[in-house]
Amino acid sequence: MEVVCPFCPLRCPATPLELTDNGLHIADDFCQLAAVRAPLAGQFLHDFHSRQTDWRDLVRAANQLITPADDSRRSLTVVKGTILDIQTARESVRLASRLKGTVDAFARASDRFSRDVREREGWVGATLGELHSRADAVLLIGTVDTQWPRLLRPGSSQQTRSLAQSEKRILRLHRRDEIQPKATVTVATAKVANEAEQREASIGFTSAEHLTRLLNEAAYAIRSGQPESNRLAAWLRNTQYVCVLCTGDDVDLLAVSALNRLIDLLNETSRAVLIPVSEAITFQTVSSWLTGFSGPIDFQQDLPRLMEWSEEPKCDTRIWLQPFPDCPPPPDDAAKLILIGTADDQLISRADVYIRTAMPGIEVQGTTFRGDGTIALPLSQIQDTKLPSASQVLEELAVPW
């Protein structure tokens, strides 16, 4: 069955996901990441943990733990976790508003940097369709294509491939310890070299500060009309439409800002775009249209308010969304835990209430945004396990008052 893949933010549209007696499988050569995550999710297809109890009874138990915040008793509930689909995102926001609690999607620190800079400075960007079809060059910062193995392969977006460059020029900016030292060049003042014309080249850096310096030096070389004096600038000079992707694991605010300015500069004479990819984008988009803010959102004043980002707010009760067993788990603290989704025994043992819900894109249909935003795709149901969806469960929580 060819479906939109739910396992990473690329959401490849024609993923051959197979359900057999032995579980859920995908051809190894299609995607290494999905080949690992699919069987893991498949193990839970026959999990009857929560079906031993009617899920509505579990909702009633969960409701016992939730008390809406009021002036007399400042109980706070946080709704958080991994949110893949529009339907769950909607109900997360609505539940938080009913509870006068807070809501957010789990996001990596790098997502935060990227979002902070974009809020402050704006950006020139694109979606993956432009990467596959229009771009003649790709600048990868960090381990982007290791993290998302199909990133550079045609078919991970749905665009026409008439213009697809069979071989794009690729430059990797990476930490020195990530690639063989021989392949790295750390001297920003390197003369223009033949490598700039090679299909794949790489430049190493040692820290976020070093990366910032590399980016700033390239911008300076371009601005001063001497791109040949800098290896990165020389490489960029020969591009017509360059897509920049960044995992963010190795960056900080200054590096992202420097990257943003470099892209701005390139757009004065050619085209350059940033493609931010984040699993949190579905929640952020839905939250934006429902509340005006992309999260984290606080409803304690009875109106949605944008919160300062923090590692994890202190709360009395945490409702944690875990669509797949290997999604990031909740922090281990004193808060009561209502776990919704699919979890292993170790995590289940921490939960005060665990409600096993259907895995989106496998056990239940839905709608999702691809990680680059703006592209909305359907998630399919491969097997009907009769489990409730996370959105159904959230809709039943704290209702009626």
Query: What is the contact surface with other proteins in residues (CB under 8 A)?
Result: 13, 86-87, 90, 93-94, 97-98, 100, 115, 118-130, 133-134, 157-160, 162-163, 240-241, 267, 270-271, 273, 284-286, 288-294, 299, 301-306, 365-367, 369, 373-378, 401
d(CA 256, CA 329): 27
Backbone angles phi, psi at 81, to 5 degrees: 130, -160
Please identify, using beta-carbon distances, which residue of 36 and 376 lies nearer to other proteins.
376
Residue with tokens 């359900």: 19
Give whichever of 186 and 383 is closer to other proteins, judged by the CB atom. Answer: 383
Number of other CB atoms surrounding residue 396 within 10 Å:
19
Q: Cβ of residue 369: shortest distance to other proteins, in angstroms?
A: 6
Of residues 306 and 348, the one with the C-beta less far from other proteins: 306
Tell me the closest approach of the beta carbon of residue 134 to other proteins, in angstroms: 6
The nearest distance, CB 13 to other proteins, in angstroms, is 7
* Secondary structure of residue 163 in the 3-state scheme: coil
Q: Measured from the CB of residue 126, what is the shortest distance to other proteins in angstroms?
A: 4
CA atoms within 13 A on the CB side of 297: 32
Whichever of 7 and 283 has its CB closer to other proteins, that residue is 283
Instruction: Report the nearest approach of other proteins to the CB of residue 175 (Å).
Output: 29
The first and second tokens of residue 130, run together, are 């432009």
Supply the minimum distance, in Å, between the C-beta of residue 398 and other proteins: 12
Is the Cβ–Cβ distance between 305 and 297 less than 8 Å? yes
- Closest by CA position to 45, among listed 11, 15, 26, 19: 19
- The smaller minimum CB distance to other proteins, of residues 49 and 118, is found at 118
**CA 91 to each of CA 107, 117, 304, 375: distance values in angstroms, whole numbers, following the listed order:** 19, 29, 15, 21
The CA distance from 168 to 153, in Å, is: 11
The burial of 234, by beta-carbon neighbours within 10 Å (0-12 exposed, 13-18 middle, 19 or more buried), is given as: buried
Q: CB-wise, 17 or 214, nearer to other proteins?
A: 17
